[in-house]
A and B are shown apart, each in its own frame.
Chain A
């Protein structure tokens, strides 16, 4: 096991190297130019030339990449073209917000997706199953943007029971930043009201962001449970007279979980990097808005290092998923 993890971590090096080169080249193929983004209407040929020069964009491409790579190896991911700020600092400031939102979305998606998948599988063909299929199809197809605005319209404006945006009521609560996870910081500050308020702020964006993973997890759970229900050992367990609850949890769900865990890992990785729409609609200050802004303004340094950091986290999450297989299915041996 230890060997397996070590090998996977070593494998990260070529993956990240290749990725850094790809991202570096891709963003330079994109239309747009940081100097133009900085100057806008005020761009003059001389102004553009001067800014490009100051940003080091006039050097040959391979030189730019090598100096970027040199920085990476020294742990220096560079500075934003627009703000001059250290990319890693900026990332760390924003990432906790994204983690918090992703966690809320995954709790929603798992909390509903797995039980619903289980129920629909066990009552295959019934109205519950058909209803579930329709709901999950809608869940996958609905644009997050629309869903987010609708949720807000209904639950924050028409029936104002939940806040429409933000992470906490800033007028009421002042939470010192420690972990930058609002809920955790509120608890650390001993502010229970703030904690509840932070949780309330998580509900609508969590639902908006969690709907697609919910639908996917529900469908995968259903398919996987249906497969397992047909296995001999389930029939045996039932025949032995084991209570249904024990069969479900020990035999069915546990064996059905493998593909679900894979999907959970993938979805978590995706959410961590890409909650752009949800973050924008709910005024949520995570990495999604940050990268989006960087793309909009052609801030190459933020895009290439930010995406690299997200890729690193994505790979890590998937490594965790692989490791968790061992606990779910002891037959899997890592070598």
Chain B
């Protein structure tokens, strides 16, 4: 008997707790709980929400938002991933940034104006006056110099993680792109480069180049690798939000910076929660514990659109999935891909459009060139390329011309990675299956292969040229063709082509070198169009799809401006009910 009593007591306790919660939720947490707990009752609330949606922005309230993870580090320069940037770009600000929604238009942030462009080695930044860091110390030229000097002189332990500084400034210390950074007067900074760089200004728009309060840097002894930024570093930035609290793996709470130099944020608070699993993120939105989340699984687009009270916000692609084509891959001697006609046949055989609906939830674009349509260089580079449309008959003809038929089919290895998804590649195995089918339809014999993603697994083998046909892709760092074509096809110091594609075409390297060095915008566009033409004509790779990504919100969340580059602020976001 006693045992039964014990069990019932436990059950009662659980019920009481459950009931308790709905009660407490009904009074103070009404804004959140009432909507979630009565899906049927939303009818009565809907008009109000729609009214608010078209009305003027209202200040106030708290937005709870889920990403996949929190920040890898709270030190901006030591981060290079979108999840870290999401948080840090609310707190820290760079000298210049991309205009909202744009991938190529620059606006001053901490710099009010600047002199210097692609052809110059000297940049003079006129800084904004009257800006204070969250810790109350003033922002000035000396602060900018201290930050640049810290990055430039990083200890080795830091260098491993400071990817963007390394990649955009050609490494650290003497001999890299930065010759000197001087505080010419209180609000003027002069940055001298060792050579002209058409991408310098774009590079420093990255959230990794956010300026941190020198007082905070000193206090935390931030240049010593043994003591790095922890959750206690909350007041180092100048941005529209301060970091109110941070618990790794749990939450980052951002609070409106009341002393912001610009237009203050509308929301009182933004709480960012890490939920790694996309299905769990959707459930959190449906369950009402978050009001928005990023990286919606394309398979869930329909669910969200069909559910009353939920809204899908699309983010145009800044990525590209491609099929690497390597004619000299070690595995298959006598590789049929060595013949141009066979490589062309591969591209004609693939119905790129048909991949978008099933794998990207219908949101994406056929990739005629490597750069996505959201790039400011898109039209200029596209001018160099004559896209090969889906034409299976032409593919069969080309294979026949190359001497392949049913008795002597073209046999190609075709690889895909496992244990990974990327925005450009939501389902590698499924995509592989679909493309394999298309290739087999025109007469290829496909030998499938797969390996786990992490280097030296799939990535390493692909980059070392061990795979003949293989999936890989790219998400742009900033909007310049050099970050797409240059990074992938530039020859190494010994004059050898990148082993991944073994694209050894006469004139390609010269074209890339010329395009990298070209400083005039129009001519630069033409130069990269020429690079794209050479690569396309020789089918060194086949660009397939630019996959869009999406965020989901409840309908009372307004004003989120998605940017293809992920450069997005919460300061314009507001709630129709103002958090009431």
Minimum CB–CB distance for B546 against chain A, Å: 15
Q: What residues of chain A lie closer than 8 Å to B454, measured between beta carbons? A: 31-33, 36-37, 298
A203, B474: Cα distance in complex, Å: 42
- Least distance between B147 CB and chain A CB atoms (Å): 18
A285 interface hit (Cβ, 8 Å): yes
| Interchain CB contact under 8 A, A119 and B280 | no
Q: Please state if A36 and B248 are interface contacts (CB–CB under 8 Å).
A: no
Q: Mark B255-287, 1 if CB is under 8 A from A, else 0.
A: 000000000000001010111110110011011
Q: How far is the CA of A43 from the CA of B453 in the complex (A)?
A: 13
Chain B contacts for A317, CB-based, 8 A: none
- A43 in contact with B459 (CB, 8 Å): yes
Contacts of A286 in B (CB 8 A): 249
Q: Is B36 an interface residue (CB 8 A)?
A: yes
Return chain A residues, CB-CB under 8 Å to B457: 31-32, 36
Across-interface contacts of B72 in A (CB, < 8 A): 82-83
B residues 280-337 with Cβ under 8 Å of A? 280, 283-284, 286-289
A38 is contacted by which of B1, B158, B163, B487 (Cβ under 8 Å)? B163
> Counting CB contacts under 8 A, is B449 at the interface?
no
Chain B contacts for A32, CB-based, 8 A: 452, 454-455, 457
A38, A39, A112, A163: the one within 8 Å of B21 (CB)? A163
**Alpha-carbon distance between A89 and B73 when the two chains are bound, in angstroms:** 14
Closest chain A residue, CB of each to CB of B463: A43
On chain B, the residues within 8 Å of A170 by CB distance are 64, 251, 253, 271, 273
Q: Are B455 and A164 in contact (CB under 8 A)?
A: no
Q: Specify which of B230, B245, B275 is in contact with A85 (CB 8 Å cutoff).
A: B230
A41 and B273: CB pair below 8 A? no
Interface core residue of B225, B226, B283 (most chain A CB under 10 Å): B283
For chain A, what secondary structure do more than half of its interface residues adopt (helix, strand, loop), or is it mixed?
A: helix
Of B3-11, B180-188, B196-204, B376-384, the one with at least 4 CB within 8 A of chain A: B3-11
Q: Which of A31, A33, A84, A149 contacts B283 (CB 8 A)?
A: A149
A12 CB to nearest chain B CB (Å):
28
B289 in contact with A36 (CB, 8 Å): no
Rounded to whole angstroms, the CA-CA distance of A39 and B453 in the bound complex is: 12
- Measured between beta carbons, the chain A residues less than 8 angstroms from B6 are 111, 115
Size band of the interface chain A makes with B: 35 or more
Count, A-B residue pairs, CB within 8 A: 214
Contact code string A121-154 (vs B, CB < 8 Å = 1, else 0)? 0000000000000000000000000000100110
Across the interface, which residues of B come within 8 angstroms of A15, CB to CB?
none
Residues of chain A from 296 to 311 with CB closer than 8 A to chain B in the complex: 298
Q: Is the CB of A280 within 8 A of B24?
A: no
Query: C-beta contact mask, A15-45 vs B, less than 8 Å → 1, else 0?
Result: 0000000000000000111011111111111
Contact of A169 among B18, B29, B158, B247 (CB under 8 A): B29
B24 CB contact (under 8 Å) in A55, A94, A116, A197: A197
Give per-residue flags for B76-117: 1 if the beta carbon is below 8 A from chain A beta carbons, else 0. 001010000000000000000000000000000000000000
Contacts of A161 in B (CB 8 A): 18-19, 21-22, 37
Answer yes or no: B250 CB below 8 A from chain A CBs.
Answer: yes
- Report the nearest A residue to B498, measured CB to CB: A44
Contact, CB under 8 Å: B284 / A40: no
Closest 7 A/B residue pairs (Cβ): A36-B455, A285-B249, A164-B287, A115-B3, A285-B250, A54-B160, A156-B287
| Inter-chain pairs besides A42-B487, A50-B159, A166-B251, 9 sampled, C-beta below 8 Å | A41-B459, A83-B228, A84-B225, A161-B19, A162-B21, A164-B288, A172-B24, A280-B277, A290-B249
Show 22 residue pairs from A and B whose CB-CB distance is below 8 angstroms, ordered by the A residue.
Answer: A31-B452, A31-B457, A32-B457, A41-B473, A50-B159, A54-B156, A82-B161, A83-B78, A84-B225, A93-B247, A115-B3, A115-B4, A115-B6, A161-B21, A166-B250, A170-B253, A172-B29, A196-B21, A196-B24, A280-B277, A285-B248, A285-B250
